[in-house]
Structure 1
């Protein structure tokens, strides 16, 4: 997704930049799930001229600025409203990807069944980078942008090389820390996600699922919202295991059952539980993140999206941050001051601007996980049983509301255009 937006931004802002997309799959496919966009991310869609078409294909054209986000306590027999946030746009993920791919219209620029294994960057600032693929073939480029996910081969090569260089200089402790950046880290959370057609729900449940809602509970949370104009309901249930380590014992993705989800969310409010169980065969997804990387770039290689900052979904910000990476990177590559000879310096500007911001969002998503699962803000001593029974100081909900609103403020009150201006100011210095 981040790579597609980068391609679209290059097409609009830097048409003289020639690019190729190497895709490991045999065709563009996407797991069916929902995507939420805050006003900050929506600005990028507007800049790319996609706003009207996005609203039309999702069936909400002319219906205002999107869905209201509600935060609700859901693990008791009656729901408790906590607070609500401004409007968001929600989409079926595969429909969004199809639209991006259609507008990119990359044709023979997309190379399928090409899984990157590693890359080799020469010492020279102008000689080509060599890409090595699993099928034994190679390709060359001037810059390599890793938009290859949480198990990124570009990140593996980048930080393995960093570590080798540190070790050669006798910095064994630093080398060990750099090698640790290669592998993803399990968060202790497993998500059960899927889509259910609104037509399969009762009239009462269709009404109940008509808004974007986050349901909090002890060591559990759930997110439910409509996509495709309300024809489909996106369903996500997350289970946290206290005391879990950083390595997941089992397949990262597998199919589960509605009965399993029902057991895990037993005792939750009946309507929430019914919607969670409405997905017949949900995907069971062990959620992994990247560590906080010390840099997103090395020489003429850069990381974007999950390869750089894979994060938990508790701000609905993972895809949006990948979009921001692509937008800012295209801004840099389109600037008249950027040439092959100073491309490595230009990528440092990308790192200077995007890494602190995206890592703050990454940390915020981790903080929200604790918040949604009642593991922070003085909820630590409230047991799962007490939470379900309502045996806690209800003033804690006011604190939860305040912290939630504070954490989500960035996505509504800040602007990617301000970051673009910051980048352009730094590029003026580069041109000098």
Structure 2
């Protein structure tokens, strides 16, 4: 982190960001660089990400460029050859039959480790706008139109700001400050209103040498460099390179469809992240081809993650002077490689909105209406189609009974995410501001 603020605030409104993950840091940097007074409150003792490799799609990369974060991103990002997103294969066939491949038509998508992405942003954020060990206890909306939101933290400290932005993930406490009458029944703090997709994700990072040895030299080298999605009924496995090709990121998904087409309720009281035995893990994929099973055997200490989603989608991300972004607003499953990208898009939009010359403290609550107008349809479509994508990969969606048609469908399924026009979005925002402020 840089030692002191470099931008001089030019706005008469103050912003408090709750949560220091990818979305929160991106937004804090965007606001600070545009002269909007901002503070970021993180519950942990330092900024840190859990998880493994993630995909950053082309629209999100364009957003990073506009936020001045692309050069930092380039330090760690892995860009595939030929702009490849994934090759799609049948996991159970002996040769892993190729169905199709999806290419990014305009730019290259990239993969990166979550922690590396966060580290690349930390360098850009001034230390004096960051507070750690601040777990949110409660939020109090202002009693007057020009009053401030009061945040109370579990350590007893408080902070007041003109605007509070929840970037605190799918378990968001800030989401509970939304109004269910406008945002819908998912406007609940924490995890109680979240819906289990039915899917467990087993994650592993495999050193390249071990992966190649397990799979075999020729195919192992090819798979270690070339993103693959291996599909079967009610399960699938993805692999892609990170760390400059030195590591293979593997995620194996297994879905409980015992109540299909309804979602299976998550067992009460069970943790979302569970250790599991290697034997039980491999049993979920015992119909796969021997080469794929050998990939899975490289994960020595498997753990599984229950994938949840904000269902139904929020119909509003704002309530007076409190708003939510990223997974707090539209958290969901990772099946289109787009969740981090949506948080980054939100950060760009809000940075441009709050820095706009016509937006000030007096008209702030009115100005926030355009965030709902533009970002709710965009982000909700991405999160809802991500849930559908997981079903589709597991032969429960489009072309469920025809692998060849499924392959054709997957070639262009992601265009609506990648081809999103951020300049047109900004112009739509500016036009709304001209007409309404």
Q: Fold-level match, TM-score > 0.5?
A: yes
1:69 aligns with 2:86: yes
**What is the CA deviation profile of residues 272-293 of structure 1, one whole-angstrom value per residue up to 9, with x for unaligned ones?**
2222221222331011111211
- Counterpart CA distance in 2 for 1:430 and 1:258 is 59
Residue number in structure 1 paired with 2:298:
278
Contact between 2:177 and 2:322, CA under 8 Å: does it hold in 1?
no
**Number of the residue aligned with 1:78:** 95
- The 1:257–1:427 alpha-carbon spacing in structure 2 relative to 1, beyond 3 Å, is farther
Q: CA deviation at 1:108?
A: 2.4
Q: How does 1:150-189 map to 2 (within 5 A)?
A: 150-159=170-179, 162=180, 183-189=193-199
Match of 1:388 in 2: none
Give the stretch that moved more between structures: 355-364 or 247-256.
Answer: 247-256
- 2:191 is the counterpart of 1:191: no
Task: Work out whether residues 337 and 430 of structure 1, in 8 Å CA contact, stay in contact via their aligned partners in 2.
Answer: no
Check conservation: 1:9, 1:330, Cα contact below 8 A.
yes
Evaluate the alpha carbon distance shift between residue 356 and residue 182 of structure 1 in structure 2; reply closer, same or farther with a 3 A threshold: farther
| Mapping of residues 386-401 of structure 1, within 5 Å | 396-401=402-407
CA distance in 2, matches of 1:214, 1:22: 37
Q: Which blocks of at least 5 consecutive residues in structure 2 are unaligned?
A: 1-21
Task: Report the Cα offset of residue 176 of structure 1.
Answer: 6.6
Deviation of the 1:54 alpha carbon:
2.9
Report how far residue 346 of structure 1 moved.
1.3
Offset of residue 178 of structure 1: 5.8
- Give the deviation of 1:209 after TM superposition: 2.1
Aligned CA distance change for structure 1 residues 108 and 365 (closer, same or farther; 3 Å): same
Residue 33 and residue 152 in structure 1: after superposition, are their counterparts in 2 closer, same or farther (change >3 A)? same
- Tell me which moved more, 218-227 or 67-76: 67-76
Q: Distance in 2 between matches of 1:277 and 1:124?
A: 60
Alignment partner of 1:376 is 2:397: yes
Instruction: Give me the whole-angstrom Cα distance separating, in 2, the residues matched to 1:247 and 1:239.
Output: 14
The CA deviation at 1:44 is 1.4
Count of paired positions: 400
SS at match of 2:383: helix
The 3-state SS of whatever aligns with 2:38 is coil
The answer on 1:124 being equivalent to 2:118 is no
Give the Å deviation of 1:334.
Answer: 0.7
For residue 169 of structure 1, what is the aligned residue in structure 2?
none
TM-score under structure 1 length normalisation = 0.87
Is the Cα–Cα contact under 8 Å of residues 64 and 344 in structure 2 kept in the other structure?
no
Whether 2:49 is the aligned partner of 1:39: answer no
Aligned to 1:323: 344
In structure 1, the residue corresponding to 2:110 is in which secondary structure? strand
Higher helix share: 1
Q: Would the alpha carbon gap of residues 177 and 219 (structure 1) be closer, same or farther in structure 2, given more than 3 Å must change?
A: closer
Q: Which residue of 1 aligns with 2:29?
A: 8
Report 1:250-289 matches (<5 A): 250-289=270-309
User: CA RMSD for the aligned pairs?
Assistant: 2.3
Structure 1 residue matching 2:225: 3-state secondary structure? coil
Question: What SS does the aligned partner of 1:361 have?
Answer: helix
